[in-house]
Amino acid sequence: MHVDDLGEPVPLTGPPRTVVSLVPSLTEAIEASRPGLVVGATDYCTHPPGLDVPRVGGSKYPRVEDVLSLRPDLVVANAEENRPEDVERVRADGIPVWVTEAAATVPEGLGSVRRLLTQGLDIPEPSWLVESEELWREVPPSHLTAIVPVWRRPWVVVGRDTFAGDLLRRLGVTNAYADHADRYPRPKLEALRAKDFDVVVLPDEPYEFTEDDGPEAFPGKRYVLCSGRHLTWCGPSLVDAHAALSDALAGKD
């Protein structure tokens, strides 16, 4: 009997041939490793581009009846992105669910994805995963301190024990809120501006920060707009993310 990251049993009778993914990064990871396995995904599963499968709504509020109607061999979910009640509804209908952990570090995230792919889905270890582990293994000395908003109205920033915070640490960037009690603090803008930091890192998801929406809140401060997929997705995007984020933080075009 397989068990997922939370220790819950996953009663698979053989290698799954059809999967519904409720997590965008897992959708990309699975399809990059075995194309055609995913038969249903959320509206936010944008990668791989051109993925032509039925959509089942958002990650937080999927249309569970649509998931059940696809009768997949397995549903994949995440402890942070998906609600326990939705997972339990799927399980109650007799469909196995594999829930991945909310990883606090890049190695933890890659280890979680490896287990899903190789143990849960019986897929040989993909080359992108090995390359990602090599790229993100080192932790260089810090040369920048950043705040990392992921939402505004209200402001929400990356705090302690987060994948994004650890990823930036592996690029030599210290998260100014790394020691906060919360994983995603909600400071007032005045408190944000008062922090001692060098740069504001503004991803395009979950909130879509742009040149005209976000930087103006931090007058006189350097900012970096970046792909939220590069910053927060644990999957094939990590291969390109290392160079892309390093260049952005270094001020290279």
Query: What was the pLDDT predicted at 27?
Result: 98
Do 68 and 159 fall within a single domain?
no
Query: What was the pLDDT predicted at 252?
Result: 72
Provide the CATH number for the domain around residue 51: 3.40.50.1980
Query: What was the pLDDT predicted at 138?
Result: 96
Q: Is the pLDDT of residue 74 over 80?
A: yes
Do 102 and 181 fall within a single domain?
no
Look up the domain containing 78 and give its range.
Answer: 2-134
Choose among 78, 77, 79, 72: nearest CA to 12.
Answer: 72
Domain end: 102, 134, 166, which one?
134
- In the chain, the number of structural domains is 2
Do 78 and 182 fall within a single domain?
no
**pTM (predicted TM-score):** 0.95
Average pLDDT, the chain: 97
Do 158 and 218 fall within a single domain?
yes
Classify residue 139: in a domain, yes or no. Answer: no
Do 120 and 10 fall within a single domain?
yes
Query: What was the pLDDT predicted at 253?
Result: 61
Domain end: 106, 134, 162, which one?
134
Query: What was the pLDDT predicted at 251?
Result: 83
Do 90 and 196 fall within a single domain?
no
Do 82 and 191 fall within a single domain?
no
Q: Using one digit for the tens of pLDDT, what is the confidence trace for 175-200? A: 999 999 999 999 999 999 999 999 99
Domain end: 134, 159, 193, which one?
134
Query: What was the pLDDT predicted at 1?
Result: 82
Q: How confident is the model at residue 206 (pLDDT cuts 50, 70, 90)?
A: very high
Q: Judging by beta carbons within 10 Å of its beta carbon (0-12, 13-18, 19+), is residue 83 exposed, middle or buried? A: middle
Q: For residues 248 and 224, is the Cβ–Cβ distance under 8 A?
A: yes
What does the radius of gyration of the chain's CA atoms come to, in whole angstroms? Answer: 19
Query: What was the pLDDT predicted at 103?
Result: 96
Give me the residue label for tokens 């402890």. 79
Classify residue 179: in a domain, yes or no. Answer: yes
Do 206 and 156 fall within a single domain?
yes
Q: Using one digit for the tens of pLDDT, what is the confidence trace for 25-41? A: 999 999 999 999 999 99
User: How far is Cα of residue 103 from the mean position of the Cα atoms in its chain?
Assistant: 9
Give dist(CA 173, CA 192) in Å, integer.
Answer: 17
Give dist(CA 29, CA 47) in Å, integer.
Answer: 9
Q: Using one digit for the tens of pLDDT, what is the confidence trace for 209-243? A: 999 999 999 999 999 999 999 999 999 999 999 99
Q: Using one digit for the tens of pLDDT, what is the confidence trace for 119-137? A: 999 999 999 999 999 999 9
Tokens for 91, please give them.
Answer: 């399980």
Do 46 and 149 fall within a single domain?
no
Q: For residues 21 and 100, is the Cβ–Cβ distance under 8 A?
A: no
Query: What was the pLDDT predicted at 90?
Result: 98
Do 168 and 125 fall within a single domain?
no
In one letter, which amino acid is 23? V
Classify residue 150: in a domain, yes or no. Answer: yes
Do 182 and 108 fall within a single domain?
no
Classify residue 8: in a domain, yes or no. Answer: yes
Do 125 and 18 fall within a single domain?
yes
